[in-house]
Amino acid sequence: MKNIYNSILCTLVLAITFTSCDNYLDDAPKGSKVPTALADFEAFLRDEYTNQSVNVEQALTLLNDRYQTVADLAYYRLTKANYFWDETADRIALNQADETTYYGQYAGISTFNLIIENALKTTEATEEQKRIVWAEAKVLRAMSYYNLVNFYADTYVASTAATKLSVPLITSADINAPSKQVTIQEMYDFILADVKDALPYLPKVSQTALHPNLGAGYAFYSRVFLQMNNYTEALKYADLALAENNKLYNWVAYYNSNKAVIDIPNSYTNTPSPMGYDYVENYTYRHGATTRLSTEMSIPVDRAKRFEAGDARFLSRWKIRTVGAETYYRRTLSGMFNYGGITTVEIYLIKAECLARAGQLGTAMDVLNTVRKTRILPASYQDITAADVTTAMNAILRTKRNELILTLIPFTDARRLNAEGVYKVGFTKIDGGTTYTLSPESHLWTMPFPQGATKNPGNGTLTQNVAK
């Protein structure tokens, strides 16, 4: 992993010289600053392009949640293989340049390691303030590892997690730090331990939306336990998170307030995104693609069909458009979008799923409908009821996929559900007269490591988790 840290450390050294680089610089060069105060390290948490970005473009492509132009599909061969679910494609050979997910998450991890190693030794701060920054970095590191293990490794299955490999684990910011490709179980144990360490010190109120608070810690714990099929613990921490923040944004009101602009035929004038730093649903905020911090993504026509009728959130975000031979739903919001963090709606729907699995169908539907009432226009709204678990689960999962579209969560949920084998996720589409299918058992659900990582693993080894 030396190549990761070479690039990251070069960037950091340009701005500062920190004390852990004694092997390179014993004295700070003239005009540079040696960080010793807590504020020097806390500032790294605000680096949105490097440390607060979660680019999972190929997962969105596999789900066909993001629209891909004909030109992009012709040029980007890996994107084409995932978009058309080509199981014959050698994605390892094709993955020569798509390294943003891998190196982006490890760049953030490098920074969080630096903070974790140094925060408690800093000056100009109380012990409580030091612990808060240390805890925030712990949660963000755990979130980054969660993204990696759920992108490049098979999904968590208790019976195989201790034998299957995940991703390299690095816990030091030292440029010569060793890396070990640990098992899936070891990685999940590490993630849970990081959050456990952090919880006693997380503040109830965030310094900014980029700083995880106590609600974020509980919410992330709930997400991880759900992925591990531990529904008791997932429900426990969902309730704790909602006790910290249970606000839902009223998308029906947003649509009605902006209806005059939204409904103009053939007009794509952007309305402001409410999903930015001050979104009431935020536990913690992280961006999506680094190159599109302030741009919504367009979606395919087939994907748009899977939204509920009268979904104000959908109507406020996309509008059908035809350009030449291409028809898609064009984005209509401008601003910021919390694609990589955690919001209350995810936790409401985790709670609903856990209740449904426990047989508490009425309560589960009450939770689901609490969300839907803020999303579905009154003319289309009707409470969903369920007399059996399957009906309840299908309703909950449909809503969750729509609510969290363009984030990693629909991808991780699909992998989890496919491994369970009860509520499997697969897709079929017809494009240009050809039928394409993504089966629940496909190897495409695990992304290959980029060639740059496997060819230069640094101070460790890296084994591909897929054959192609």
Tell me: the pLDDT tens digits for 3-37?
443 444 444 433 333 333 333 334 445 555 667 89
Task: Tell me what pLDDT residue 33 has.
Answer: 62
Task: Tell me what pLDDT residue 458 has.
Answer: 80
Task: Tell me what pLDDT residue 208 has.
Answer: 96
Per residue in 54-106, pLDDT (tens digit) is 999 999 999 999 999 999 999 999 999 999 999 999 999 998 777 889 999 99
Residues contacting 60, CB < 8 A, separation 6+: 66, 297, 406, 411
The pLDDT profile of the chain, 468 residues, written as one tens digit per residue, is: 434 434 444 444 333 333 333 333 344 455 556 678 999 999 999 998 889 999 999 999 999 999 999 999 999 999 999 999 999 999 999 987 778 899 999 999 999 999 999 999 999 999 999 999 999 999 999 999 999 999 999 999 999 999 999 999 999 998 888 899 999 999 999 999 999 999 999 999 999 999 999 999 999 999 999 999 999 999 999 999 999 999 999 999 999 999 999 999 888 888 999 999 999 999 999 998 766 677 789 999 999 999 999 999 999 999 999 999 999 999 999 999 999 999 999 999 999 999 999 999 999 999 999 999 999 999 999 999 999 999 999 999 999 999 999 999 999 999 999 999 999 999 999 998 999 999 999 999 999 999 989 988 888 889 999 999
Give the whole-angstrom CA distance, residue 458 versus residue 192: 26
Give the whole-angstrom CA distance, residue 339 versus residue 50: 15
Task: Tell me what pLDDT residue 336 has.
Answer: 93
Task: Tell me what pLDDT residue 312 has.
Answer: 98
Query: How far, rounded to the nearest angstrom, does the alpha carbon of residue 65 sit from its chain's CA centroid?
Result: 14
- Can you read off the two tokens belonging to residue 445? 């659900």
Per residue in 423-449, pLDDT (tens digit) is 999 999 999 899 999 999 999 999 999
Q: What is the DSSP code (8-state) at residue 119?
A: G
Task: Tell me what pLDDT residue 30 has.
Answer: 53
Name the 3-class secondary structure at 163: coil
Give the whole-angstrom CA distance, residue 29 versus residue 17: 8
* Dihedral angle of Cα 141, 143, 146, 148, to the nearest 10 degrees: -70
Pairing assessment for the beta strands 326-331 and 318-323 based on DSSP bridges: antiparallel
CA quadruple 28, 108, 239, 376: dihedral positive or negative? positive
Q: Write out the CATH class of domain 2-210+446-455.
A: mainly alpha
Give the whole-angstrom CA distance, residue 383 versus residue 237: 26
Instruction: Look up the pTM and report it.
Output: 0.92
Type of residue at 372: R
Name the 3-class secondary structure at 213: coil
Rg (CA), the chain: 22
What own/partner pairs with CB < 8 Å and gap ≥ 24 does 199-206 have?
A: 199/135, 200/135, 201/128, 201/131, 201/132, 201/134, 201/135, 202/132, 202/135, 202/136, 202/139, 203/132, 204/244, 206/284
Domain range annotation of the chain: 2-210+446-455
Say if CB 215 and CB 253 are below 8 A apart. no
Say if CB 142 and CB 202 are below 8 A apart. no
What own/partner pairs with CB < 8 Å and gap ≥ 24 does 94-100 have?
A: 95/448, 95/449, 95/450, 95/451, 96/450, 96/451, 96/452, 97/450, 98/57, 98/58, 98/450, 99/450, 99/452, 99/453, 100/55, 100/57, 100/289, 100/290
